[in-house]
Structure formats: C-alpha cells, structure tokens
Amino acid sequence: MQNIEVYNPASPEELVWSGTETALDQLPGLAEAAKKSQKEWEALTGRQRLDILTAFLDGIEARTSDLADCMVRELGKLRGEAIGEVGKSLVEARWMLGRCLEKSGKIMASARPGIRSMVIRRPRGVVLAITPWNFPILTPLRKITPALVFGNAILLKPSVDAPGTAMILQQVADQSLPKGLLTVIMGGADIASAAIRCPQVDVVTFTGSTQVGRKVMSAAAEGLKEVSLELGGKNPAIVHDAVNMEKTIDDIVRAAFANTGQRCTAISRVLVQQELREPFLNSLLARMKLLIPGPSSNDESTLGPLSTKAQYDKVCEFLKHINPEQTDILTGGSPVDLPGGGYFFEPTLVEVTDSKCEINFSEIFGPVLGVEFYEKVDDAISRANATEYGLTSSVFASDISVIRAFEEGIESGMLHINHGTFPDENMPFGGWKASGVGAPSVGEESEQFYTRVQAIYEGV
C-alpha cells in the first residue's frame, strides 16, 4: 500500500492531497460487497432507482463549490472551467436518469403459435470504471450514472492525480446510495489490473490513453470480459471558406485551448485552404493573444497550467525536440515562468510544412495547435484521416459539396459542421480506430454496454 500525494500544479510546492492507496487484499471484500449490493439494487423498481439516483445527483450538485475548489487545487483548472465541468456532468447524468422509467426490452412478433417472444435487457452486474485525471467528475459520472440507471453496481478506479474529487463522490454516495453500490478504489496500474481480474467484476469501462487502453483490453480478455474503451485523439478541423471567419477562429480557439488543451476531444490540428492563409493566421494569432497563462486565483488568467508534472515535461520535451525542417513555430513554444512557479506553457501555434511531421500523429495534450494548408478538399480529408486516431473532427464550410465530402470521408466517431468539438448530453460519445472500442458512452447507445440481452420464449 503506497502513499498518494498531490501537489498544486499552479504552485508545485503546495501539497494539496495526501492519502493511501487501497490495499490489494481489500479488493475481494469490496468487490463482493458490490456484487451483493447489485443484486438488491437490480430488484428495485425503476421508480425506486430514479428517486435514489435523483438524491445522489442533488447531493453532487450541493457540493459543486467543493468539487470545483478541489479541481482548482489538484489540477490547476480555472474555477470557471471547473464549475462548468460539474454543471455539464449533471446535465448529462440527469438526461440519463430519464432512462430509469423507459423501456428495458421489446416484444417480438411470435414465430410459433402460443409463444410470446420477448427481448429483455438485464444489468451486467458489477462494472469496473477506470478513469483519467483530465475531467475527474465528468468522466466518472458518465460511467456511474448509466451503470446505476441500468441496475449495476460500480467500482471506480480514478486517477491518482485527481483523488480528491473521487473522494467527494464517495462521500455523496455514502449519504445517498445503498452501501456497496459505488466504491472508489485508490491507486495506480497495480490495483487497476488486479480489479480487472477480480472474478466479481463483470465488465470494464476505461477512459484514458490508447497505450493503457490496449493493456486494459488484453487483461479483460483473459477473463472474457467485455470492455468499453474511450481513448486518445488527434482531432482535426478543416477550414474551407471564410464566410464567418471570426466565429470560426473563436470556435477553434475554444476547442483547442479549453482545459489547457487537455481534452481528448481538443482540436489539435487545423487544415486551412491555401487561399485563406493570411486572413486565417492573422485572426488566429490575434485571438490567441487573449489566452493569458496564469493561476485560477488571478482574475486575468484564461489558460491554466498543465495539470501534472509528467504532462508538463511531455509538452516541454515535445516542443524542445520538434523538427525545425518540418515545422515553424509561429507563436509560443516555451514554458512560462511565473513568480509562484507552476506548470504553465505558452499558447502555441506550429505551422506544419511537412505533413509527415510527428506533431500530426502524437497526442500532445497541451496548449499546442498545428496548422497546415491545402489546395483540394480531398487532400485535406485524407491528411486529416492519416493518423491512428478517429475521435472527433470539425469542418468550417458553406459549400454543401465540401460538407458532404467531409461527412462521407472523415474517419471519426463524432463530426461537427461549422462549430468546435464540444459534444452534447444526449448524443453518442465515442471514437473510431484507436480512439475507442465498444459501444459509445452517453445517450441511448450506452445501454448496449451497461446491459445484456436475454431472449425469452414464454409458452402457456
């Protein structure tokens, strides 16, 4: 059992959380308690589950300020972004609660006389959720809510870089949910791997890097456990015309730099039609000047720090070793030294002069945007597709033939026409290729992962 210590990324001397990992030998007991709780939970009516889960979400809402403070301290989020994350999580979760009283199967036409044929959806049992640090309330709640709505219990293994928000979720659960229904397990890869192999765990939902997702999938395969993987991205935007250039720039900047670029759905590459080069770059560089790196405590800050030392080192190293023969740094590219220290990095725009450059393939996960230029839209689409990822994408165009070509040609799970890559609470969320495996999260489709199908032939 190891200690976990978290330091404030905006002032790294400040210890903001300390605690211990869950001991490996505690796991079987916790998983067994989840199994027992799940059986009782499944037996409740949809209405009973709805009332209990409404109280759970109300409890989270009442802790909005605590949750936001925690995200500011542990991850350096700007407070407005942290409050926004709690709000969005609750909107999404409340939409899902509506499913408690909806259909849970269908009656089929009979193929034989005297037989009523039904397809029923049943809970999976115990769901293990493994989550990253970048949205420490949104991502867990995106898994907890559908799991519980559909009658499962859940074990949550959050990131060790954001333990505080998970502990608040546990406190709210202790006050509002039946014992054992939601249990937080603290720790890193060891405890996560052990939990995947727990016999009481029925399915595994994971959000994180593609690299770790591969390990999760192979560990789950040993036990023939189904997985849902939400993985990394290298999300392109294509800018084809300048009908509304100011809005386009604003949408791209928000989608690229919100949460300091640490969103799986962040736009990290822009492909711009060659003729628009000058107006596009002038507007983008002017708009990026409004991004002011600084701590949440400073009202002028519009760009928080990178959330962990590892992430800061990764971004610094990437820019230090970027190939000058394939790229041109148009602005930024360096860490920012502020009086209190902190993992701040300049908002950075890199022109890509050789599309085979590393920046077009690596998920940097920081305030770094690549820009390149194209002449033909087909070429832009094929360049946009030339990564292992396929999470989300945007096109800015008024010509319907360009929009159609994009809709039909782009290889990503989510497409945005004339706006940035921000998803809604009622739409499927998930990636193609190395960005996701299994049924999408969010919206109706999440039922596919959180339930299993039973075919019933009812004779008389």
**355-387 in b/e burial notation, b at 16+ Cβ within 10 A?**
bebebbeebbbbbbbbbbbbeebeebbebbbeb
Minimum distance, C-beta of residue 418 to ligand NAD, in the bound complex (Å): 23
Minimum distance, C-beta of residue 161 to ligand NAD, in the bound complex (Å): 7
Minimum distance, C-beta of residue 222 to ligand NAD, in the bound complex (Å): 12
Minimum distance, C-beta of residue 355 to ligand NAD, in the bound complex (Å): 22
Residues binding ligand NAD (CB under 6 A): 130-135, 139, 157, 159, 188-189, 192-193, 207-209, 212, 215-216, 230-233, 264, 363, 365, 391, 431
Nearer to ligand NAD, 220 or 397 (CB): 220
Minimum distance, C-beta of residue 195 to ligand NAD, in the bound complex (Å): 8
**Is 357 labeled as catalytic in the residue annotation?**
no
Nearer to ligand NAD, 231 or 350 (CB): 231
Catalytic residue among 21, 81, 85, 230: 230
Nearer to ligand NAD, 368 or 397 (CB): 368
Minimum distance, C-beta of residue 206 to ligand NAD, in the bound complex (Å): 7
Residue 92, Cβ density class (10 Å: 0-12 exposed, 13-18 middle, ≥19 buried)? buried
Catalytic residue among 70, 100, 198, 264: 264
Nearer to ligand NAD, 284 or 437 (CB): 437
Left, alpha or beta for 230 (phi > 0: left; psi -120 to 50: alpha)? beta
Nearer to ligand NAD, 232 or 370 (CB): 232
- Give the residue at shortest CB distance from ligand NAD: 208
Q: What whole-number distance in Å separates Cα of residue 236 and Cα of residue 247?
A: 17
Nearer to ligand NAD, 265 or 355 (CB): 265
**Is 230 labeled as catalytic in the residue annotation?**
yes
Backbone angles phi, psi at 438, to 5 degrees: 95, -175
Q: Which residues are tagged catalytic?
A: 230, 264
